[in-house]
Amino acid sequence: MRSPSIEWFHAKIDKQIRLAGSYTELPELEFIIKSCRLKPYDYVFEERDNNIVLQKWWFDEFGNSLSIIKNKRIQITHNDLRLDKKKIVSTDLYHGLSIDRITKMSRLVHLVAGKDEDLYQDCSLITFLGIDEHLRSYLHWYGEWQQVSPLMLGMKGLKTIFNHLDVKHYHQVGNKENSGLPCVSAQTWLSYLPANPVFISELDKQSEMLATVLKQ
C-alpha cells in the first residue's frame, strides 16, 4: 500500500516542518524530516487538523521515530513499539529497487565500513541521496543487503550528509561517532555520484564490496 505523494504531504505541513527546525535551532532538521520521509505522529495517527502546532514526535516508514525531547534535544528510537506498524504505508516509489539502480538515480553517497563489535563480522551501511532529495539506506550484514531506515545513521551521520551536500569530490569522515552501526574500527566517506574513479580506487583498498557498488 502506498500513499499518494510525500512531496505533496510535506508541502501541506511545511509550516510545521519549519516550526520544528526553528524551535530546535537545528538547521539540518528540516532536511532530515524531508529526506527521511518523516511524518508527524499526531497528524497521521490522531488525525489532528492542520493547525500550526509544534510536532515533537515524527516517524518513518520502517517503524522508527524521531522525537524532540527535553532541552530541545533529538532522540531517535529504532523499532518504536508505540507505533502501529500496520497503519504505516510506504511513500517511496523506488523502495525495493536494487542497489545498482539506486546508485544510478542518486547524486551523493555516504558509506560506513567496519566490523561488528560482538562477532567481528563485516558490516557496512551505504546511504544514497537520490536526485529526488530522499535518502535510501542499505545494510550489509552476514553476507546480505537489506534496505533499512536512514535514521540508522543517527543524528551525527545525518548532520554529516547535510553539511556536505555540496561535496565536489569525496570526503573521509573516518570515525566511529558518525556511524549508526554497532561497529568497531568504522570508517566513513562521502562522495558525489557518479563517483570519481580515483575515489573508487581508494575505497577499494578498504572495502572491495562498497567499491563494487559504486562501479555500477
- Work out the number of other CB atoms within 10 angstroms of the CB of residue 40: 21
Report residues of the chain scoring pLDDT below 50: 1-2, 178-179
- The DSSP code for 97 is -
Give the pLDDT confidence of 174-198 residue by residue, as tens digits. 655 544 565 666 789 999 999 999 9
pLDDT value at position 196?
A: 93
Asked if residues 77 and 65 have their Cβ atoms less than 8 Å apart, the reply is yes
The per-residue pLDDT for 122 is 75
Residue 114 has a pLDDT of 78
Contact residues for 36 (Cβ-Cβ < 8 A; gap 6+): 60, 66, 134, 135, 149, 150, 151, 158
Query: Cell for 18?
Result: 519549519
d(CA 172, CA 141): 22
Checking 70-75 for CB contacts under 8 A at 24+ apart, the result is 72/23, 72/24, 72/25, 74/24, 74/26, 74/29, 74/155
